[in-house]
A = this chain, B = another copy of it.
Amino acid sequence: MDKEIFDKKLTSLRDEIDDIDSQLVNLLKKRRAVTTKVGELKSEVGMPIYAPEREEALLSKRRQQAQDVGLNPDVIEDVLRRLMSDSYVSQDASGYLCVNPHCKKVVVIGGKGQLGKIFVDLFERSEYKVQILEQEDWPNSKSILDNASVVIVAVPIRLTSMIIQHLNDLPESCILADVTSVKESPLYEMMKVHQGPVVGLHPMFGPDVTGLVKQTIIACEGRNPDAYHWLLEQFEIWGAKIYNVDAAAHDQAMSMVQVMRHFSTIAYGYHLMTEGADIAQLVEMSSPIYRLELIMVGRLFAQSPVLYSDIIFSNTDNIAMMKRFAFRFLELLEDVEMGDKDSFVEMFNHVSEWFGEYAGDFLAESKSMLLKANELKRH
């Protein structure tokens, strides 16, 4: 084909695409306007933004339509999920129903911190009276805490215990809660210092969350759950899912997922450096899956070491468990050294069984993730 004819044809097709994409942006603008209205309507009556059945119904209708017109339904679903996740953010911008208008005051200790800020903002948008207690406010702590209906301790983990010990003069009906990533010990301290309702919370999200929709907050019962039930309900109004669990079970699970994973990711980064790996080359040579893994290692080192050392050093109970991991690692390595493929495969099958149907579900879910990882690649 003549170069000139080819260029002309290509330009004309690309113009068509640009035109369609421009229509697309306008359509998404219209959609956004309607979902904002839905958010406003729901907040008037205190209905949660996130409606799983509606989401499923909406997706299945469009998947069907996509199929009917010969499009890949997964593409439509991915696009709609992205739009819905964005619409939660826009709906989140409006106010929320206040579950307990009788609440006199919410005090967030550490309310200027990354996590505390999120709660302050949400309480305020639900029309609660909120006061912040930061380090410099301790001289006035008595008046700030006076008359509080809820006190939430949202300070760095290493300060939590010390702060709780100062809270021995709260109104008896006041709800005392913390948001630390360990639960047994702060809960014990809170119960000791305060005779009213107590609950340990662990918000399972980081500071750059946009709204609480689909995010989990773990709640560990302390004392008098009937009295703090409205607080959990308020979190649900914000979109969060509450998971109730015993504090000891929480701490054990977290040592497996949080502490152990943080620690071994850090150890892997340290190992890469010490082995003299060439990071630029590793990135260039990565398949989508290794790229994703490298991202998850590297992201950690863009953050404050204190964030991680606090979590790791405050859970010294886990040292024995982590040692067991290292020894199991070496034990499996021995199979490799001995060329004992059979026992390796046997162990593998054993773990597969243990994962059960989660393994297959995770494989399916990871495919979408890996597709996404490759979409994000720029080169």
Q: Say if the beta carbon of A35 comes within 8 Å of chain B.
A: yes
Which segment of A105-113, A168-176, A308-316 sits at the interface?
A: A308-316
Q: How far is the CB of A321 from chain B (nearest CB, A)?
A: 7
> In this assembly, does A305 line the interface, its C-beta being within 8 Å of a C-beta of chain B?
yes
Is A227 interfacial (CB-CB < 8 Å)? no
**Looking at the complex, which one of B206, B253, B277 makes contact with A282 (CB distance below 8 Å)?**
B253
Tell me if B24 and A296 are in contact (CB < 8 A): no
Contact flags A1-42 to B (C-beta < 8 A → 1, else 0): 100001001100110111011111111111110110110011
- Point out the residue from B29, B80, B245, B292 that lies within 8 Å of A369, measured CB to CB: B292
Considering the chains assembled together, what is the distance between the CA atoms of A218 and B287 in angstroms? 10
User: How would residues 257 to 297 of chain A score, 1 for a CB under 8 Å from any chain B CB and 0 otherwise?
Assistant: 11011011011111111110111111111111110111111
A226 interface hit (Cβ, 8 Å): no
Inter-subunit contact A333/B322 (CB<8 Å): yes
Give the number of copies in the complex. Answer: 2
**Chain B residues with CB below 8 A from A22, complex form:** 62, 65
A138 is an interface residue with CB less than 8 A from chain B: no
A377 contacts partner chain B, Cβ-Cβ < 8 Å: yes
Complex Cα spacing A205 to B291, Å? 11
Nearest-CB distance from A242 to chain B (Å)?
11
Interface size class, chain A: 35 or more
Contacts A359-B299, A377-B214: A253 and B281 contacting too (C-beta < 8 A)? yes
Contact across chains for A17 and B34 when beta carbons are under 8 A apart: yes
Q: How far is the CA of A226 from the CA of B335 in the complex (A)?
A: 44
Q: Which residues of B contact A101 (CB under 8 A)?
A: none
**B13-A325 in contact (CB<8A):** no
Query: A34 contacts which of B16, B61, B293, B354 (Cβ < 8 Å)?
Result: B16
- Cα of A83 to Cα of B56 in the assembled complex, Å: 21
Q: Which of B16, B24, B245, B309 contacts A345 (CB 8 A)?
A: B309
Provide the residues of chain B in CB contact with A329, threshold 8 Å. 263-264, 267, 271, 322, 325-326, 329
A253 to B290 alpha-carbon distance, docked (Å): 11
A162 within 8 A of partner (CB): no
Q: Does A66 contact B (CB under 8 A)?
A: yes
A324 with B271: in contact, given A348-B266, A356-B279 (CB under 8 Å)? yes
State the 5 A-B residue pairs at the shortest beta-carbon distance, nearest first. Answer: A298-B362, A204-B287, A305-B348, A302-B359, A302-B363
Beyond A243-B285, A250-B285, A271-B325, 11 additional contacts (C-beta under 8 Å) are A17-B38, A21-B61, A72-B86, A243-B284, A253-B278, A253-B282, A269-B355, A270-B351, A274-B328, A280-B358, A312-B344
14 residue pairs from A and B, CB less than 8 Å apart: A13-B37, A32-B71, A52-B378, A72-B86, A205-B287, A216-B284, A254-B285, A264-B268, A274-B324, A296-B362, A299-B359, A301-B348, A312-B336, A369-B372
